[in-house]
């Protein structure tokens, strides 16, 4: 009698090796639900460091590779049922497109960190490849995984706020308040380098999160924007501060702030959504609370794990009310959505939409277009139209100019 229990999903990781903060976060998040196991990898752009990282993580020699190209070649030589099910890309942004395009085109499911790629042309190519190959492609906008963000989304969808009128999203950090990149700090070095990060600094690194958070919660589509980007630390090549006014389809207005030079602040992401009937407020540093200000009643503080939350929010929690959940669990919820979709496809079924809840390649592509339009607006010092759809008509690429 043969065992009919389906095997656990297997994934490979590219980047995220020794000394990389975010790689460990992704691995911990994936391990939280036990849906997939690390089976292979190419953990650094430096061959020696890549192999050493793989050994330290317990990856077998046959699946531990010095380069992502070697990983892809090796996986393609294996029988289909012995290959990894997904590839997780946690390299600096300049590596995202060539790696994601190669693996998606070869038929592998992909999860990629944000921002997705450098240009909307690259994003359009990825969207087309994913559509052609029929693969799953998730983008780790991890803040969408917080239970109270999903509660906010469902409240907006249900009409609890009425028509949305104003959205304010702020993402304030202070870690780049000094020229940290000049000290040899690896993270600061690549994030402030146009060759690695692309045309945007803080706007791409954290502003992309802010744009995605508003889109996820409200469903609003940007029609036009005007941006003021600047490098406030002398000598920095990319923006470290961004202020953007937004006009949405239907008449709503928005303000987006993304700044990494707020000395003393840590990870101060906050969202306020106001409609005709009330306002919602959420802070990432207090993620288990959602404040609902009602036009016709008292202010309510909704808490994670409560039985009266929407099902999408309840499913995103793992432990009883009163026990804090946070950053790792939010990441894990994104991965749970991706692996639910992959598992359902492998079984020949359709995933429950509440289970397969994750940002897609289209979300990542919209984020890239947002970055381009904001940089173009700041450079030209004028309003820019923002038109996005999955066909991703090529937008002109501009260079940052903060003079």
Last residue of a domain, one of 142, 173, 205: 142
109 with 150, same domain: the answer is no
Identify whether residues 89 and 154 lie together within a single domain: no
Confidence band for 390, pLDDT divided at 50, 70 and 90: very low
394: pLDDT strictly greater than 70 = no
Quote the tokens at residue 66. Answer: 């010095």
* Residue 200, in any domain of the structure: yes
The answer to whether residues 161 and 65 belong to one domain is no
- Do 310 and 243 lie in one domain? The reply is yes
Q: Which of 39-43, 139-143, 329-333, 390-394 has the lowest mean pLDDT?
A: 390-394
d(CA 126, CA 100): 8
Burial of 52 (0-12, 13-18, 19+ CB in 10 A): middle
At residue 78 the predicted structure's pLDDT band, cuts being 50, 70 and 90, is very high
> Are 219 and 365 contained in the same domain?
yes
In this prediction, residue 403 has a pLDDT band, given cuts at 50, 70 and 90, of very low
Triad 23, 172, 164: Cα angle to 5°: 105
What CATH number has the domain bearing residue 119? 3.40.50.720
Count of domains for the chain? 2
Q: 366: which residues sit within 8 A by CB, 6+ positions away?
A: 211, 212, 215, 388
Residue 5 banded pLDDT, cuts 50, 70, 90:
low
The pLDDT confidence band at residue 19, using thresholds 50, 70 and 90, is confident
- 359 neighbors 216 (Cβ within 8 angstroms): yes
Q: Which of 94, 122, 142 is the last residue of a domain?
A: 142
172: tokens are 């304030």
* Max intra-chain CA distance, the chain: 73
Pair (41, 183) in one structural domain: no
Is residue 234 domain-shared with residue 374, that is, in the same domain?
A: yes
What average pLDDT is seen over the chain?
Answer: 94
CATH number, position 307 = 3.30.360.10
Question: What is residue 6's predicted lDDT score, i.e. its pLDDT?
Answer: 65
- pLDDT at residue number 7: 76
Q: Range of 200's domain?
A: 146-319+361-380
């Amino acid at each position: 009698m043969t065992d009919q229990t389906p095997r656990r999903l297997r994934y490979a990781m590219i980047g995220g090796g020794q000394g990389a903060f975010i790689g460990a976060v992704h691995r911990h998040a994936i391990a939280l639900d036990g849906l997939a196991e690390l089976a292979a990898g190419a953990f650094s752009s430096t061959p020696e460091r890549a192999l050493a990282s793989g050994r330290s993580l317990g990856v077998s020699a046959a699946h531990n590779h010095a380069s992502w190209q070697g990983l892809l070649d090796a996986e393609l030589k294996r029988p289909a049922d012995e290959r990894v099910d997904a590839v997780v890309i946690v390299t600096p942004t300049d590596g995202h497109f060539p790696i994601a395009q190669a693996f998606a085109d070869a038929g592998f499911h992909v999860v990629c960190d944000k921002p997705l790629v450098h240009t909307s042309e690259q994003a359009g190519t990825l969207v087309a490849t994913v559509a052609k190959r029929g693969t799953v492609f998730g983008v780790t906008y991890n803040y969408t995984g917080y239970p109270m963000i999903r509660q906010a989304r469902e409240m907006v969808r249900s009409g609890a706020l009425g028509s949305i009128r104003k959205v304010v999203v702020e993402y304030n950090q202070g870690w780049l308040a000094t020229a940290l990149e000049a000290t040899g700090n690896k993270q600061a070095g690549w994030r402030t380098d146009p060759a690695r990060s692309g045309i945007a600094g803080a706007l791409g690194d954290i502003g992309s999160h802010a744009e995605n958070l508003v889109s996820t919660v409200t469903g609003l589509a940007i029609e036009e924007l005007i941006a003021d980007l600047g490098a406030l630390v002398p000598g920095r090549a990319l923006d470290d501060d961004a202020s953007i006014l937004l006009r949405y389809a239907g008449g709503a207005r928005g303000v987006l702030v993304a700044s990494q030079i707020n000395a003393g602040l840590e990870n101060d992401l906050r969202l306020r959504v106001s409609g005709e009937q009330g306002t919602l407020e959420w802070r990432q540093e207090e993620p288990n609370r959602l404040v609902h200000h009602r036009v016709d009643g008292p202010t309510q503080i909704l808490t994670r794990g409560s039985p009266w939350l929407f099902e999408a929010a309840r499913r995103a929690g793992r432990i009883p009310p009163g026990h804090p959940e946070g950053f790792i669990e939010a990441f894990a919820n994104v991965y749970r959505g991706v692996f639910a979709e992959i598992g359902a496809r492998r079984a020949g079924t359709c995933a429950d939409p509440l289970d397969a809840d994750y940002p897609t390649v289209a979300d990542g592509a919209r984020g890239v277009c947002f970055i381009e339009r904001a940089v173009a607006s700041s450079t030209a010092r004028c309003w820019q139209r923002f038109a996005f759809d999955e066909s991703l008509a090529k937008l002109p690429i501009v260079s940052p100019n903060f003079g």
